[in-house]
């Protein structure tokens, strides 16, 4: 059996098994990279909000989030510290489905993702729409571990992994770009691994 799913899988945008420039394959290991202490967040109190420039601000509880249609991403993740991990399967809700409920206003151009810990990261709205971004709570059939952002994290696998906010609490829609935690500390504003957009100026 092939180790990795090849080609279009019918879920998400996975199946790209190329290695971006300057990256290496961890061969299966999944490093933990966190700027803050790992919080223990109960699904009883977990919430996810979409706020800011939307017609309908919405907050989902864990049960409400689980009741949404589940979506799957199969493919790789790429960390700016040069590791890539292939053949991952994440399950969650697509950000498209969440934005369908909240309905971005026409002037919304960017999002700031924020975590229950205070971590933030910024993205153009176009990078979280079009079946490219998920709120993920399961990986390879298991609940997402707390060290990796459980109960749920943002997953934006076509960009460097710092954009995938762990312990994600919501998205704020903005009419301008607002640099997040790492972006204020020298990381690139967008972080496309295929263009090696690691640091400001890249
Ligand atoms: N809340 C939060 N999310 C975060 C981070 C963080 O420090 N805090 N680190 C980012 C970085 S730099 C990376 S590479 C990935 C690491 O995710 P992992 O620990 O599951 O590999 O999470 C991203 N999301
Ligand atoms: Mo990272």
Distance 67 CA to ligand 2 centre (A): 31
CATH number of the domain where residue 70 is located: 3.90.420.10
Instruction: Count Cα neighbours of 57 within 13 Å in the Cβ-side half-sphere.
Output: 8
Residue 61 placed within a domain = yes
Taking every pair of Cα atoms in the chain, the longest distance, rounded to a whole number of angstroms, is 48
| Span 31-44, pLDDT tens digits | 999 999 999 999 99
* Residue 23 within a domain: no
pTM of the model: 0.93
3 versus 23: the higher-pLDDT residue is: 23
Does 169 fall in a domain? yes
Quick check: is 191 in a domain? yes
Q: Mean pLDDT across the stretch 79-94? A: 97
102 touches 91 (CB < 8 A): no
Degrees, nearest 5: CA angle 132-179-153: 40
Question: Would you say residue 28 lies in a domain?
Answer: no
Q: Is residue 182 part of a domain?
A: yes
- For residue 5, what pLDDT band results from cuts at 50, 70 and 90? very low
Please provide the average confidence, as pLDDT, over all residues in the chain: 92
Looking at ligand 1, which residue's alpha carbon is closest to its atom 6?
Answer: 34
- The Cα-based distances of 176 to 90, 111, 165 in angstroms read 30, 9, 20
Report if residue 59 sits inside a domain. Answer: yes
What is the predicted pLDDT for the residue at 17? 72
Q: Which two tokens stand for residue 41?
A: 């967040």
What is the DSSP annotation of 172-193?
EEESS----HHHHTTB-SS--G
Name residues contacting ligand 1 (CB within 6 A): 30-36, 79, 115, 117, 119, 148-149, 161-162, 164-167
Query: Ligand 1 mean position to 39 CA, how many Å?
Result: 13
Domain that holds residue 55: 47-195
**Domain count across the chain:** 1
Closest atom of ligand 1 relative to the 167 alpha carbon: 1
- Best probe residue, ligand 1, of 164, 188, 197 (max atoms within 8 Å of C-beta): 164
Residue 45: count other Cβ atoms within 10 Å of its Cβ. 10
Q: How confident is the model at residue 1 (pLDDT cuts 50, 70, 90)?
A: very low
Ligand 1 nearest-atom number relative to CA 31 = 21
Compute the average pLDDT of residues 140-168: 98
Determine, yes or no, domain membership for 24.
no
């Amino acid at each position: 059996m092939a180790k990795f799913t090849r080609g279009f899988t019918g879920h998400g945008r996975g199946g790209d098994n190329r290695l971006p420039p300057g990256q290496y394959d961890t061969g299966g290991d999944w490093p933990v990279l966190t700027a803050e202490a790992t919080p223990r967040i109960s699904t009883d109190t977990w919430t996810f909000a979409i706020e800011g420039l939307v017609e309908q601000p919405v907050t989902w509880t864990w049960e409400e989030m689980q009741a949404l249609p589940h979506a799957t991403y199969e493919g790789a993740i790429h960390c700016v510290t040069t590791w890539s991990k292939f053949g991952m399967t994440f399950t969650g809700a697509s950000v498209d489905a969440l934005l369908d409920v909240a309905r971005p206003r026409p002037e919304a151009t960017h999002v700031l993702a924020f975590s229950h810990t205070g971590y933030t990261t910024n993205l153009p709205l176009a990078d979280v729409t079009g079946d490219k971004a998920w709120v993920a709570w399961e990986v390879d059939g298991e609940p997402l571990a707390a060290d990796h952002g459980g109960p749920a994290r943002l997953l934006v696998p076509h960009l460097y992994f710092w954009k995938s906010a762990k312990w994600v609490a919501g998205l704020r829609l903005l009419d301008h770009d607002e640099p997040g935690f790492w972006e204020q500390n020298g990381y690139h504003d967008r972080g496309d691994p295929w263009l090696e957009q690691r640091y400001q100026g890249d």
